[in-house]
A and B are shown apart, each in its own frame.
Chain A
Amino acid sequence: MLYAQNREIVIPGQLIAEGSHSIYGGAFKEGNRIYSSVIGLMNVRGQDIRVVPLGGRYVPRQGDVVIGVVMDSHHSGWILDLNSPYVGNLFVSDLAGRKVDLDKEDINQFLSMGDVVMAEIRDVDERMRVLLDAAGPGMGKIRGGKMVEISSAKVPRVIGKKGSMATVLQSTSGCKIKVGQNGRIMVWGDDQRMVNAVVEALLMIEREAHTSGLTDRVKQFLEKMKLEGK
């Protein structure tokens, strides 16, 4: 029994369903009744109910690719700010991709304070200690580009179904982007105007993530900016 419709905006404490559904995202059960715990978008698929949060801070999950900023270092690695209540731990061997002899090598040659790193979350334990791996392909220290921070809840919209939105952003603007699940996005481009246009497009996606027809609007916007630049 559903009390809210698919794609309806629901608020904390709102009764959304009753009965034996599987629940995901910002929903919780009390006895037989299901409620939303956040302000979010109601999503129903068969017996599954998901409340997609429209906001909220990033909570690290295993497998996510994130963009972190080095905020502290220690004997064998670094602590990265993840724009989250939780920091990431990166050991030097997980950046170099090999065993590092700490007596012979100085870890400061790898990273400094404030450096930006793309990494995968290898593990999160129940005390929310996050272990990062930055040795994989496409991972590691990021150079150049403009960093944009949006709400991590809107990142799926920036990527789009099967990467559709990310493709539109890059192919229409001629810029390159890398998206972190924690809401940080890097934008590179030779044309400063188009880089700024992509930034504006990202902010538009953040504002309108819950609406339909967004991919088309973003495409139109970027094409307009491209024409105006000529």
Chain B
Amino acid sequence: MYELVSTVKRDYIVDLARQGKRTDARALDQYREVSVETGLIESAQGSALVKIGNTQVLAGVKIEKGEPFPDTPSSGVLMVNAELRPIASPTFELGPPDENSIELARVVDRGIRESEAIDLDKLGITPGEEVWMVYIDLHALDHDGNLIDAASLAAVAALWNVKKLQVEGWTLEEFPVVKKPVAVTIAKIDGKLMVDPSLDEQNVMDARLTITTTEDDSICAMQKGGIGYLTVEEIKTAYELARAKAAELRKHLG
């Protein structure tokens, strides 16, 4: 289902953007209020609830034993899944994951996998037979824009929330999470770049760019979305923004 946006709303947001302003009086480089709460789901090995403004995403980490991939017999396996269910928005429908849930899961996955945030080599049990499987399930609870950043932050916070594991006689003394990759999404509206698009902004933007960086400012993942385009200059500006904002968001990870 698509989101009906009135011309009046669209014009209003674009007019403000032209003046370098936003409808909720935020600066172009300002996030809505961010909060991170961890350990709230006992049935999960790690969990985190992230709120960015009214957007809420809950991440749960389940760690179970499973079979490794044939080409990496001693490495653990990471799987990221996203549920965009109708509870969070009238635009989400029941059914198998659509392109938005799949993109969301894969972007979060990329940030964690490419940055090697989890040392998967430390998650082997019996080479070729048994390894630890790390499932990250992202559950959107309330959609008011920028689910990607909320989901990424929740996933990483949930990973860092995992304590010593004891499952069926095998003990994992320390869960090997070593990095804090942070995704920052920037939207382009009428040539202006702004971070953390709200739902209204997301519905009128030309394009968005999500950049995931690690503590040393290196980029581990990027994703452009939306039907518009970005210039090289815009992408460079976006990187500078992402670097600065990632450092701020990372503080919420403790």
Contact = CB atoms under 8 A, between A and B. Distances in A.
Whether chain B is bound by chain A comes out as: yes
B25 A81 contact: no
Interface string A130-169: 0000000000001111110000000000000000000000
A213 B6 CA distance: 34
B9 to A, nearest CB: 6
A145 B8 CA distance: 7
Contacts of A186: 8
Contacts of B7: 112, 114-116
A192 interface: yes
Q: For B7, B11, B12, B21, which residue has the most chain A Cβ atoms within 10 angstroms?
A: B7
Contact of B4 (A81, A143, A146, A147): A81
B25 A147 contact: no
Nearest to B5: A114
Interface in B1-45: 4-12, 16, 21, 23, 25
A69 B21 contact: no
Given A146-B23, A192-B21, A196-B25, A114 B4 contact: yes
Interface extent on B, as a size class?
10 to 19
Contacts of B11: 144
A147 B5 contact: no
Interface residues of A, number: 16
B21 A145 contact: no
B4 A71 contact: yes
Nearest to B15: A144
Q: For B4, B5, B6, B9, which residue has the most chain A Cβ atoms within 10 angstroms?
A: B6
Contacts of B9: 147
A2 B23 CA distance: 47
Given A144-B11, A146-B12, A69 B6 contact: yes
A9 B7 CA distance: 39
Contact of B8 (A71, A147, A196): A147
A144 B25 CA distance: 18
A80 to B, nearest CB: 10
B32 to A, nearest CB: 15
Contacts of A142: 8
Contacts of A115: 6-7
B18 to A, nearest CB: 12
Nearest to B9: A147
A147 B12 contact: yes
Interface in B209-231: none
Contacts of B25: 196
Contacts of B4: 69, 71, 81, 114
A116 B7 CA distance: 7
B2 to A, nearest CB: 10
Nearest to A71: B4
Contacts of A192: 16, 21
B221 to A, nearest CB: 34
A50 to B, nearest CB: 31
Contacts of A112: 7
B91 to A, nearest CB: 14
Interface of B: 4-12, 16, 21, 23, 25
22 contacts: A69-B4, A69-B6, A81-B4, A114-B4, A114-B5, A114-B7, A115-B6, A115-B7, A116-B8, A142-B8, A143-B8, A144-B11, A144-B12, A145-B12, A146-B12, A146-B23, A147-B6, A147-B8, A147-B9, A147-B12, A192-B21, A196-B25
Given A116-B6, A146-B12, A192-B16, 10 more contacts: A71-B4, A112-B7, A114-B6, A115-B7, A116-B7, A143-B8, A145-B12, A147-B6, A192-B21, A196-B25
Closest 9 CB pairs of A and B: A114-B7, A69-B6, A116-B8, A116-B6, A146-B12, A147-B8, A114-B6, A196-B25, A71-B4
